[in-house]
Amino acid sequence: MKFMIVGKANAETEAGVLPSQELVDNMHAYNESLAKAGVLLAAEGLYPSSQGARIAYSGGRSTVIDGPFAEAKELIAGFWLIQVKSREEAIEWALRVPVPPGHEGIGLDVWRVFDASDVPDDSLPADERAREEALRERLGVDQPGA
């Protein structure tokens, strides 16, 4: 099963304040532990929302809304994509994310990533499944359920 651990933003991350060297070192150690356990697929920090955009849909039209966005607590500062055996294991890994003292309000979300292997074989036409597998192979992405 794949899970995304989503790190929430706060006023500092939205202001573009770089983390302390201690936090950077702790994050590197955490990422190394994920990699050594063979569960890490990706991990990245994100720029503040001022460098992003949202696309809103209404009445069949799309509108691009440039950042920054008002509610920092609803924004994302970074993520980890992991592959583990269960939701409980994903939560165990999320509980190990280093958060420095004094950073109350920062939170993590743990979301299961929908995977083609979650769709029963008989509900997906063979040609669609073959297209999905070919695309994953071209991109070098692990096969679903692997």
Q: Can you give the CATH number for the domain in which 69 is found?
A: 3.30.70.1060
- In the prediction, which pLDDT does 142 show? 60
Same domain, 90 and 139: no
Q: Are residues 108 and 40 in the same domain?
A: yes
- Provide the phi-psi class of 90: left if phi over 0, else alpha when psi is between -120 and 50, else beta: alpha
The residue segments making up the domain with residue 130 are 114-146
Residue 45 has pLDDT above 50, yes or no: yes
pLDDT of residue 136: 75
pLDDT class of 144 with cuts at 50, 70, 90: very low
Same domain, 107 and 129: no
How many domains, in total, are found in the chain?
A: 2
- What is the average per-residue pLDDT within 9-28? 90
Same domain, 96 and 106: yes
Measured over the CA atoms of residue 72, residue 73, residue 75 and residue 80, the dihedral's sign is: positive
Instruction: Kindly state whether residues 103 and 122 are assigned to the same domain.
Output: no
Model confidence at 15: pLDDT above 80 = yes
Q: Which pTM does this prediction carry?
A: 0.79
Query: Which residues are within 8 A (CB) of 35 and not within 5 positions of it... i.e. 6 or more apart?
Result: none
96 and 109 housed in the same domain: yes
Same domain, residue pair 51 and 28: yes
Query: Are 55 and 102 within one domain?
Result: yes
What per-residue confidence (pLDDT) applies to 146?
44
pLDDT digits (tens, 9 = 90+) for 52-86: 999 999 999 999 999 998 876 688 999 999 999 99
With cut-offs at 50, 70 and 90, classify the pLDDT of residue 9: confident
User: Do residues 35 and 124 lie in contact, with contact meaning Cβ atoms separated by under 8 Å?
Assistant: no
> Are 65 and 90 members of one domain?
yes
* Tens of pLDDT, residues 89-143: 999 999 999 987 666 666 899 999 987 667 766 677 778 777 877 877 887 766 5
- On whether both 63 and 129 belong to a single domain, the answer is no
Across 15-33, b (16+ Cβ under 10 Å) vs e yields eeeebeeeeeebbeebeee
**80 with 142, same domain?**
no
22/56 same-domain check: yes
